[in-house]
Chains A and B, each alone.
Chain A
Amino acid sequence: MKDSNKIPEREITPASVYFNRRTFIQAGILAASALATGLVYRELNPVGSGGAKTRPLAGLSPTTTNAPAGLEAMDPETSLQNITHYNNFYEFSTDKEEVAAAAANFDTTGWQVSVEGLVRKPKVFGLEDLLKISPPEERIYRMRCVEGWSMVIPWAGYSLSKLLAVVEPTSDAKYVAFETLLDPKRMPGQRGDVLNWPYVEGLRMDEAMHPLTLLVSGLYGSELPPQDGAPIRLVIPWKYGFKGIKSIVKIKLVAQQPRTSWSEYAPNEYGFYANVNPHVDHPRWSQATEQRIGESGRRPTLMFNGYEDQVASLYTGMDLRANF
């Protein structure tokens, strides 16, 4: 009987064709080069990832029902992933997508905040003492960045006015100046001179005392992650996001309008007040609309970021075009 499994010699593919060395090498070069190009693309265009884990915040109370209007935005909240992976925090990286990873190991143990200047009772607070002044409450605020995007963020904290009441400002105190930590070892972005470090911000006394102005220590019911300004930051919901100074170490009551980082960097682009205002454009982009993170298409920007009823009275008689 004939062996039907035996393939005749002449039907075997010649080695030179079957194992085409040339094609093989070319396929390898093609794959390797495409991979390399892909890596360069990824390096130039990173998507936010990584970041620190945070613990739940103790003693958090929901927004009180008799709280003044405006404490709770009715829009859907932005996801925690997006809030924690799209950050302007130049102390760590100037790329919004890279801050979370760059700040992941930021150590805040032993944090102190000095409250000083024109006050009767200046004090250097340990973080614990500072947080004890008032239990944190959840406040869902809209956050509008000067770059034309916005989020809805469930912060946790208490009104700055409560802290100021403890230190008792004198009648000479007209402004409040804030300062971020200066430590290039822990904040690698400070090794470059993109901005004049440390980051400084300021508010007029009545703005600082407004109940909406929040000293924030938490986000989504947990401690504030490093990329969002751990351990303690400011949130002023009717102003552009850059007014909300992060990782605060100093609060000083002063008589004169303090210098502020962005208006010092580009006075024609960023003002001291920086109130959200759809009628006053930034020189390089319109402020009439905003990209709400998580939505498709842009939505109209509201005067004072929708907090007009609560804060417009602070600016009666002021030319908001000149005082942008």
Chain B
Amino acid sequence: MTAQDLRFAKVLVLVNAAVPGALLAWDAWHHNLGANPVNFAILTTGMSALVFLLLTLLVTPLRKISGWNWIIFSRRTLGLYAFFYALAHFLIFFGLDRSFSISSTVSEMFKRKYLFVGALGLLVMVPLAATSTNAMIKRLGGKRWRALHRLAYVAAIAGVIHYYMQVKADVRRPLVFAAILAVLLGYRLMVYWQRPKPALVTPPTNSPKPEPGA
């Protein structure tokens, strides 16, 4: 992978991740969001946030299994897009459904479990987005940064539960999301369980340092 190819791959991810937002804006401009535009925008941004959360969590397993180490570049971009879509999802709910009423938004969040769970998912993504820069990784140190960014698992779990809970009866799609998430998290548990036990490792091998982020 040349530097030129990597640059192109970055553009590729950046552009594709923007497509859902761009199409939503295009459709809104052309009054083509169906009968219930606000609800439609809430659903599409929420769906996009979930998709990008799962894609973010796919990067590490894919990288380890395939050996394509270079794809790690996409994790930050995908994660940030997940955050932006989740934030847009909340802001549309707050602004256009609750008419910017803080009291109504907060009271709904505490009355409806699914809204509470969703808010939790968005909330834990805030520190992740805030510490996504290289400077912040340096400042926190790899170990602490990795520990903090395990909150991405919490965000994804909260997101899928939030989606499952708000569906009226047809839970097929939320279950597909749940299954994919289970595989992605299951992979990590498997890696965790199969890690070499310190006592059993014969010293002093030149074992490679763990990569940032698991």
The A interface, classified by DSSP as helix, strand, loop or mixed, is loop
A48→B32 CA distance, assembly (Å): 9
- Other-chain contact of B44, A37, A45, A265 (Cβ < 8 Å): A45
Q: Is the CB of B11 within 8 A of A30?
A: yes
Q: Is the CB of B39 within 8 A of A291?
A: yes
Within 8 A of A (CB), among B12-59: 12, 15-16, 19-20, 23, 27, 32-36, 38-40, 43-44, 47-48, 51
Q: Is the CB of A34 within 8 A of B16?
A: yes
- Please name all residues of chain A whose beta carbon is closer than 8 Å to the beta carbon of B23 when the two chains form the complex: 38, 41-42
A294→B27 CA distance, assembly (Å): 16
Q: How many A-B residue pairs have CB under 8 A?
A: 84
A48→B34 CA distance, assembly (Å): 6
Q: Does B112 reach chain A (CB closer than 8 Å)? A: yes
The B interface, classified by DSSP as helix, strand, loop or mixed, is helix
Of B11, B39, B51, the most chain A CB neighbours within 10 A belong to: B39
Q: Does B169 reach chain A (CB closer than 8 Å)? A: yes
- Other-chain contact of A194, B16, B166, B170 (Cβ < 8 Å): B170
A96→B43 CA distance, assembly (Å): 13
- Please name all residues of chain A whose beta carbon is closer than 8 Å to the beta carbon of B114 when the two chains form the complex: 284
Contacts A29-B12, A30-B15, A45-B44 given: A86-B35 contact, CB under 8 Å?
yes
**How many A residues, CB 8 Å from partner?**
39
Q: Is the CB of A298 within 8 A of B97?
A: yes
Q: Does A85 reach chain B (CB closer than 8 Å)? A: yes
Q: Is the CB of B40 within 8 A of A47?
A: yes
Q: Is the CB of A47 within 8 A of B16?
A: no
Q: Is the CB of A48 within 8 A of B16?
A: no
A226→B166 CA distance, assembly (Å): 27
Q: Is the CB of B34 within 8 A of A86?
A: yes
A284→B33 CA distance, assembly (Å): 24
A194→B174 CA distance, assembly (Å): 14
A85→B40 CA distance, assembly (Å): 13
Beyond contacts A41-B48, A195-B169: 4 other A-B pairs, Cβ-Cβ < 8 A, are A45-B44, A48-B35, A291-B36, A291-B38
Q: Does A33 reach chain B (CB closer than 8 Å)? A: yes
- Please name all residues of chain A whose beta carbon is closer than 8 Å to the beta carbon of B111 when the two chains form the complex: 281, 286
Q: Does A315 reach chain B (CB closer than 8 Å)? A: no
**Smallest beta-carbon distance A272→chain B, Å:** 18
- Please name all residues of chain A whose beta carbon is closer than 8 Å to the beta carbon of B19 when the two chains form the complex: 34, 37-38, 41
Interface string of A1-40 (1 = CB under 8 A from B): 0000000000000000000000000100110011001100
A168→B43 CA distance, assembly (Å): 48
A149→B86 CA distance, assembly (Å): 23
Q: Does A94 reach chain B (CB closer than 8 Å)? A: yes
Q: What is the chain B residue whose CB lies nearest that of A146? A: B168
**Smallest beta-carbon distance A100→chain B, Å:** 11
Q: Is the CB of A33 within 8 A of B12?
A: yes
Q: Is the CB of B20 within 8 A of A47?
A: no
- Please name all residues of chain A whose beta carbon is closer than 8 Å to the beta carbon of B51 when the two chains form the complex: 44
- Please name all residues of chain A whose beta carbon is closer than 8 Å to the beta carbon of B8 when the two chains form the complex: 26
Q: Can you list 10 A-B pairs with a CB-CB distance of less than 8 A?
A: A26-B8, A30-B11, A33-B12, A34-B16, A45-B44, A47-B33, A90-B169, A192-B172, A195-B169, A281-B111
- Please name all residues of chain A whose beta carbon is closer than 8 Å to the beta carbon of B133 when the two chains form the complex: none
- Other-chain contact of B47, A33, A44, A195 (Cβ < 8 Å): A44
Q: What is the chain A residue whose CB lies nearest that of B48? A: A41
A113→B212 CA distance, assembly (Å): 68
Q: Does A131 reach chain B (CB closer than 8 Å)? A: no
Within 8 A of B (CB), among A270-294: 281, 283-286, 291, 293-294
**Smallest beta-carbon distance A227→chain B, Å:** 12
Of B12, B34, B96, the most chain A CB neighbours within 10 A belong to: B34
Q: Is the CB of B99 within 8 A of A45?
A: no
Q: What is the chain B residue whose CB lies nearest that of A189? A: B170
Within 8 A of A (CB), among B131-185: 165-166, 168-170, 172
- Please name all residues of chain A whose beta carbon is closer than 8 Å to the beta carbon of B108 when the two chains form the complex: 286
